[in-house]
Structure 1
């Protein structure tokens, strides 16, 4: 059993990760600003702002693995880089592994290409969030060896707007986007969570940027 803290544990990705980790018998703590109407049995739900240093410290203390599934929205718009930086520092201090749920725009579309976020060609409606999450990745790439981290980008079609079905399978790629035989890039919340908890249980991508899709 692994002690797992999930920041943003009531969001789309976070709630799926919390449910999958609890289903496998791990000790799970969800940290978010609110408690969901339907709580997962056995999960400890902590409420508070991730911008609060005490909330962060309590959540990371005692954790074996910390998952940040935070998004640069609401109070975290413009603050996500600092929040994830502080979470990373705490994880390193406590010897906890850190997994960060990133964005598709940090990926390269083909081998040798620029990361999409570095091209200056992101759609305006997505650019602000994408660039903030990309900045989180860049900071992790520069972190010293003391932090054990993995940055996981979901497929292009991922979110409450495209929930998909739980197929019980997925593929993992490096920082080049994975597509299926029809040229689609998609993953359901349930199967993305499957990949995250598999990585928790059997670490295979330490200090790497990877992506998950069908």
Structure 2
């Protein structure tokens, strides 16, 4: 059994990852700025990943940090601002660091542009998408002794399209995964299954992978 600390534990992705981990018998601490809606079985805490003392305290008996928060600026702080301290604390305590990323930094084809570099990508999502891409870039620059992974969901992923639990999906690397109709999508529960699978049986050390049907 592992102990997970999920930052963004009441959000769409973080809540489902926490619930899936609890279902499998893991211990889960869910961190949120405004607690009150964590899944059953999750030990909910109020706090911020930008609070280094708070994060360091959680790291002392944690196995995995799951960062499932928006990447854009919130209250003047972006996710990337917390990455150096998260990485340092994780290294010092032997914690595996993981992130729920975005799909927009995936390539649309081998050697092709990133999704958010295509003309069709909506301007209103570029701030969040670009901020997630910056986080991935900074992770790749971290010292070799930091164990991390970063999961990009399919292009269609979120509370607006939760889908039904199938228990099956496909994994990819840095290229967007689509189905036979050209659609890239994944339900919340199946994304969480893939995420917790990686925690239980690591196959993507210091790497990004993607999940889609």
Normalised TM-score (structure 2)? 0.93
Distance 1:71 1:38 in 2: 17
Worse-superposed segment, 78-87 or 204-213: 78-87
Residues 7 and 68, structure 1, Cα contact 8 Å, conserved in 2: yes
CA displacement at 1:162 relative to structure 2: 1.0
> Any idea what the Cα deviations from partners look like across 1:133-188, whole Å, max 9, x if unmatched?
10000001111101111111000110011111111111110000111122110101
Tell me: CA distance 1:107–1:77, structure 2 relative to 1, closer, same or farther (3 Å): farther
> Any idea what the Cα deviations from partners look like across 1:52-77, whole Å, max 9, x if unmatched?
22222122221111111111356266
Q: Who is 2:40 aligned against? A: 40
1:27 corresponds to 2:27: yes
Question: Which structure 2 residues correspond to residues 14-163 of structure 1 after superposition, within 5 A?
Answer: 14-37=14-37, 39-41=39-41, 43-72=42-71, 75=74, 78-117=77-116, 119=117, 121=119, 122-163=121-162
Q: Who is 1:9 aligned against? A: 9
Residues 19 and 39, structure 2, Cα contact 8 Å, conserved in 1: no
CA displacement at 1:190 relative to structure 2: 0.3
Tell me: CA distance 1:131–1:38, structure 2 relative to 1, closer, same or farther (3 Å): closer
Distance 2:152 2:3 in 1: 23
Q: Who is 2:199 aligned against? A: 200
Q: Which runs of 5+ in 1 are unaligned?
A: none
Tell me: CA distance 1:37–1:6, structure 2 relative to 1, closer, same or farther (3 Å): closer
> Any idea what the Cα deviations from partners look like across 1:37-89, whole Å, max 9, x if unmatched?
46412x21111122222222122221111111111356266421012332222
Tell me: CA distance 1:129–1:76, structure 2 relative to 1, closer, same or farther (3 Å): farther
Tell me: CA distance 1:208–1:190, structure 2 relative to 1, closer, same or farther (3 Å): same
Q: Where do 4+ consecutive residues of structure 1 move more than 4 Å?
A: none
Residues 38 and 44, structure 2, Cα contact 8 Å, conserved in 1: no
CA displacement at 1:120 relative to structure 2: 7.2
Distance 1:77 1:160 in 2: 25
Normalised TM-score (structure 1)? 0.93
Q: Could you say what secondary structure the match of 1:104 adopts?
A: coil
Distance 1:27 1:130 in 2: 31
Q: Could you say what secondary structure the match of 2:104 adopts?
A: helix
